[in-house]
A and B are shown apart, each in its own frame.
Chain A
Amino acid sequence: MSTLTAPGTSARPVAVEISGTTPIHQIVAFGAMVTLLVLAPFVVYPVFLMKALCFALFACAFNLLVGYVGLLSFGHAAFLGCAGYASAHAAKVWGFAPESAIVFGTLVAAALGVVIGALTIRSRGIYFANITLAFAQMIFFFSLQAKFTGGEDGIQAVPRGTMFGVLDLRQTYTMYFVVLVVFLLGFLVVYRSIHSPFGQVLKAIRENEPRATSLGYQAERYKLIAFVLSATLAGTAGATKALVFQLASLTDVHWTMSGEVVLMTLLGGMGTVFGPVVGAFLVISLEHYLAQIGSWLTIVQGTIFIVCVLTFRRGVIGELGRLLKKPL
């Protein structure tokens, strides 16, 4: 399957699925994931799970771009962080309800995605990574200096509020299931985009852009749409995260966050549907359970990254999919 082949290494022809039916094993995997996530908060600390879910959505959004279009953005933190600031500010200062705050944050990220995307999409490879990083650094500096973001302090004490006027988000479990629904919606949007004719064009561009162009597809336009979609979903993740932690801070716009999402995606499996989710849970668990060792954490993360690149390049889910001979 095309979803298994890393860009540029493909020897097999790209299989095209236009049948519209979802393979049974993916339905099973999705069902297992939903069941686990519904049951998890009763066993594991819910706030930790919410964090992991927000990052899972972020990684899925990132994966849409890197895994299926082959564009490595090194500035995705800009969308995550900006949406976080926007939704935090909307909820705290303008008194938006949580659902409107999330939508507002998402729209801000989308708008930012259009601007940055339009300016960067013509470049590719390392140039694309560098230019997106440059934009993200501008956003970081803006967040540091702008009045409303609170600089180093961030926007604190963001009210979670009551969603749709009935769901009291101050209750941890209510908040959790709202986050879960947001995540699943985002996940399904990514899934649908990948498994649509649009997604096939993206993969075709990834495999061979001149050929896709010669077939009459306007590659740049497709890439831009994918970029904006990815930015938008990253924004949803950031906006939701700000409500969960009642805080929007510089950490989310810092370049290390852009690096972290690369790690999540690679570890889980680039270009797989479930990989980014698994990767996000792995990385967040590491950070969570190894927080005691302080700054050594980055060394542990680095080691894992090296081991991953040396021994299982396809990531956890990628390798699993290869063993099962089924794309996951």
Chain B
Amino acid sequence: MNVLRIVTLVAALAVVAAPAHAQISDGVIKIGIMNDQSGTYADLAGPGSVVAARMAIEDFGAAKKGMKVEVLVADHQNKPDVGSSIARQWFDADKVDVIIDVPTSSVVLAVNQIAREKNKALIVSTGATSDLTGPQCSPNAIHWTYDTWSLANGTGSAVVKTGGDTWFFLTADYKFGHDLERDTDAVVVKNGGKVVGKVRHPFPNADFSSFLLQAQSSKAKVIGLANAGADTINAIKQGAEFGIVKGGQQFAGLLVFLTDVHALGLEKAQGLLLTESFYWDLNDRTRAFSTKFAERHRQAKPTMAQAGVYSAVLHYLKAVEALKSDDGPKVIAKMKELPTDDPVFGKGMVRADGRKIHPVYLFEVKKPSESKGPWDYYKVRATVPAEQAFRPMDQGHCPLVKK
């Protein structure tokens, strides 16, 4: 009788325990960090995102908890065809469970399709297109750090309210630029401003002179830069040579990262208004995280994209731990169910349409005289509370959200 009981108990335990182990595919959680490792967007995400991901795995204590986590890195060169073939290869052959980061919206949407087809997970930190939680939303994807809507909502409305009511757009000619221009255009018009013209430049681009001249002759008060990374830096630098700011026009960098300001220098970047969801000097937790990050990444403070990768990996691992499985859509569902809490964004949550929610800040770049040292670049102009920072769910046309 006793023996029989023990046997039953062991058998029951085995039944309960077995799937728990079996469900982590091949016993390893494989995280693929896909981004631009050497080009236009390498500074603001690139190798720094990989550092952030590794930090998250350590801080989560994966090794102590007996979870095996591996990080794979790939350079998608900002090309949709390269990105999608890497994604296919990762999911099919290398057994990657989740792809994280992915700058360049055109690549984001291509990878999003593949993650859905292969039933794996995708968490976007650096990519910006708000379509990822709109018409293209998917049960396999979460949009983590920011999006074009929140940038437009932050910078766009702030600039119009401070008197910049006529706009000219300088737009990177691909998905991200188009979306950012579309979302900002809507905000400008809603706040009573007017868009007097727009010009689209190739991506990536080195020579902005003809575009800047068009912007200059448009006589718009504000030149909205719907581009990012090295493109934004080049446009602002070359704009200074054309005397655009001296001529009374103002640049509105719609997506400016901390590393861009660092590259521009405060002399050129001062007074720039910008929207970000993270800055290293916000509170004690962000400062502690950023100091640790800087030690491991050439003394550079993290951008919001890199900090977002940290936060995303941390929450992903929490969800896997809770679920005891790394099955793509199930983990994504679990991530939406669990509240988020990390040093980067504080407390937050993930909405049903895959939008991660947290406060967003409107920053102004300090004057050189105000800055106390390297990386001391921003002062907070306004805080957009989490509920207002992102597009309301019913306006996104996401098929996952029931009306």
| A153 pairs with B174, CB closer than 8 A | yes
Question: Which of B80, B84, B106, B109 has the most chain A CB atoms inside 10 A of its CB?
Answer: B80
Give chain B nearest CB distance to A277 CB in angstroms.
20
Give chain A nearest CB distance to B149 CB in angstroms.
19
Residues in B neighbouring A247, C-beta threshold 8 A: 80-81, 84, 110
Interface 9-mer from B58-66, B88-96, B151-159, B390-398: B88-96
Given A291-B75, A295-B38, A154-B81 contact (CB < 8 Å): yes
Residues in A neighbouring B80, C-beta threshold 8 A: 153-154, 156, 247, 249
B81, B110, B203: the one within 8 Å of A251 (CB): B81
| B86 pairs with A172, CB closer than 8 A | no
| A245 pairs with B85, CB closer than 8 A | yes
What 1/0 mask marks residues of chain A from 241 to 262 whose CB sits below 8 Å from any chain B CB? 0000111011110000000000
A51, A144, A154, A250: the one within 8 Å of B85 (CB): A51
At the interface, yes or no: A14 with Cβ under 8 Å from chain B? no
User: In the complex, what distance in Å separates the CA atom of A45 from the CA atom of B175?
Assistant: 31
| B174 pairs with A291, CB closer than 8 A | no
| A153 pairs with B109, CB closer than 8 A | yes
Residues in A neighbouring B175, C-beta threshold 8 A: 152-153
User: In the complex, what distance in Å separates the CA atom of A47 from the CA atom of B38?
Assistant: 25
At the interface, yes or no: A8 with Cβ under 8 Å from chain B? no
| A156 pairs with B89, CB closer than 8 A | no
At the interface, yes or no: A7 with Cβ under 8 Å from chain B? no
At the interface, yes or no: A151 with Cβ under 8 Å from chain B? yes
What 1/0 mask marks residues of chain B from 99 to 114 whose CB sits below 8 Å from any chain A CB? 0000001100110010
What 1/0 mask marks residues of chain A from 278 to 300 whose CB sits below 8 Å from any chain B CB? 00000000000001101100000
Residues in A neighbouring B89, C-beta threshold 8 A: 45, 47-48
User: In the complex, what distance in Å separates the CA atom of A247 from the CA atom of B112?
Assistant: 13
Number of A interface residues, CB 8 Å? 23
Given A152-B106, A153-B106, A153-B174, A47-B81 contact (CB < 8 Å): no
Residues in B neighbouring A250, C-beta threshold 8 A: 79
Residue of A nearest to B39 (CB): A295
Give chain A nearest CB distance to B138 CB in angstroms.
12
Residues in B neighbouring A115, C-beta threshold 8 A: none
User: In the complex, what distance in Å separates the CA atom of A45 from the CA atom of B113?
Assistant: 20
* Chain B positions 155-188 with a Cβ under 8 Å from a chain A Cβ: 173-175
At the interface, yes or no: A119 with Cβ under 8 Å from chain B? no
Give chain B nearest CB distance to A274 CB in angstroms.
26
Residues in A neighbouring B67, C-beta threshold 8 A: none
B82, B110, B202: the one within 8 Å of A156 (CB): B110
Give chain A nearest CB distance to B122 CB in angstroms.
14
Give chain A nearest CB distance to B19 CB in angstroms.
28
User: In the complex, what distance in Å separates the CA atom of A47 from the CA atom of B90?
Assistant: 11
Residue of A nearest to B84 (CB): A247
Residues in B neighbouring A34, C-beta threshold 8 A: none
Number of B interface residues, CB 8 Å? 27
A172, A251, A294: the one within 8 Å of B37 (CB): A294
| A152 pairs with B173, CB closer than 8 A | yes
Residues in B neighbouring A249, C-beta threshold 8 A: 79-81
At the interface, yes or no: B74 with Cβ under 8 Å from chain A? yes
User: In the complex, what distance in Å separates the CA atom of A291 from the CA atom of B113?
Assistant: 22
| B85 pairs with A151, CB closer than 8 A | no
Residue of B nearest to A152 (CB): B174
User: In the complex, what distance in Å separates the CA atom of A157 from the CA atom of B74?
Assistant: 21
Give chain A nearest CB distance to B179 CB in angstroms.
11
Residue of A nearest to B111 (CB): A156
User: In the complex, what distance in Å separates the CA atom of A151 from the CA atom of B201?
Assistant: 12
Residues in B neighbouring A252, C-beta threshold 8 A: 81
User: In the complex, what distance in Å separates the CA atom of A76 from the CA atom of B380?
Assistant: 54
Residues in A neighbouring B88, C-beta threshold 8 A: 47
User: In the complex, what distance in Å separates the CA atom of A294 from the CA atom of B34?
Assistant: 12
Residue of B nearest to A252 (CB): B81
User: In the complex, what distance in Å separates the CA atom of A153 from the CA atom of B203?
Assistant: 11
User: In the complex, what distance in Å separates the CA atom of A292 from the CA atom of B86?
Assistant: 11
What 1/0 mask marks residues of chain A from 160 to 180 whose CB sits below 8 Å from any chain B CB? 000000000000100000000
Give chain B nearest CB distance to A81 CB in angstroms.
11
Given A152-B174, A152-B203, A291-B74, A172-B92 contact (CB < 8 Å): yes
Residue of A nearest to B74 (CB): A291
Given A172-B92, A247-B80, A291-B75, A47-B85 contact (CB < 8 Å): yes
User: In the complex, what distance in Å separates the CA atom of A144 from the CA atom of B37?
Assistant: 24
Residue of B nearest to A172 (CB): B92
User: In the complex, what distance in Å separates the CA atom of A151 from the CA atom of B175?
Assistant: 9
User: In the complex, what distance in Å separates the CA atom of A291 from the CA atom of B85?
Assistant: 11
| A151 pairs with B109, CB closer than 8 A | no
| B202 pairs with A144, CB closer than 8 A | yes
| A294 pairs with B109, CB closer than 8 A | no
Residues in A neighbouring B85, C-beta threshold 8 A: 47, 51, 245
Residues in B neighbouring A47, C-beta threshold 8 A: 85, 88-89, 92
Give chain A nearest CB distance to B40 CB in angstroms.
12
Residues in B neighbouring A294, C-beta threshold 8 A: 37-38, 75, 77
List 20 A–B pairs whose Cβ atoms lie within 8 Å, in order of A's numbering: A47-B89, A47-B92, A144-B173, A144-B202, A151-B173, A151-B174, A152-B173, A152-B202, A153-B174, A154-B110, A156-B106, A156-B109, A172-B92, A247-B84, A249-B80, A250-B79, A291-B75, A292-B75, A295-B38, A295-B39
| Residues on A facing B (Cβ under 8 Å) | 45, 47-48, 51, 144, 151-154, 156-157, 172, 245-247, 249-252, 291-292, 294-295
